[in-house]
Amino acid sequence: MTLPAIRIIGIDPGLRNTGWGIIDCQGSRLSFVACGCIHPAPELEMGERLRQLNMGLLDVIAQYSPSEAAVEETFVNRDPQSALKLGQARGVALMAPATARLVIAEYAANLVKKTVVGSGHADKNQIQMMVRVLLPASNPNSPDAADALAVAICHAQHRNIRTRVSA
């Protein structure tokens, strides 16, 4: 019996750059579909920047029709104002797939890194390199797009574990 392919969107939230990556997962086989980054204009008011993030993610979801979404939980150790702004971007990153009625999972950054690289403290270069190894056809044009693909890969690996346990 062949398992059906599941299309997953991974999202790496950020107010300046929100990375997205789309993969297909069929059993343990992963295939690259697309990736990119949404860049709201920094000179705009906060509400308009968040609207641009939302519209960008909804456009990607409409174009590629994923059935599941994975969003990276953000960790910020800077000032509270930065944490609040990042939290607003993360809210949009959750709301867009929820609006499209996708199944949504959230993953800590350390779990994403450990799943993809083998170390929970991997840097962005290591993540980009392993994403290219795991998805040879991929072409992440930014660290944010590579991170989003890593989030999607993490979800593919962990959803497979949940599926095997419940079967």
Among residues 43, 59, 72, 73, which one is catalytic?
Answer: 72
Closest Cα partner for 132 from 6, 21, 56, 18? Answer: 21
| Crossing angle of helices 124-134 and 143-166, rounded to 10° | 60
Q: Kindly name the residue from 24, 43, 144, 147 that is annotated as catalytic.
A: 144
Q: Is 144 a catalytic residue?
A: yes
Distance, CA of 42 to CA of 16 (rounded, Å)? 7
The whole-angstrom separation of Cα 21 and Cα 19 is: 7
**Phi, psi (degrees; rounded to nearest 5) at 47:** -60, -40
Strand order, beta sheet including 18-26: 29-38, 18-26, 6-12, 68-73, 103-108
Separation between Cα atoms, residue 38 and residue 141, nearest integer Å: 12
Contacts of 56 (CB under 8 A, 6+ apart): 18, 38, 40
> Residue 22's beta-bridge partner residues?
9, 34
Active-site amino acid positions: 12, 72, 144
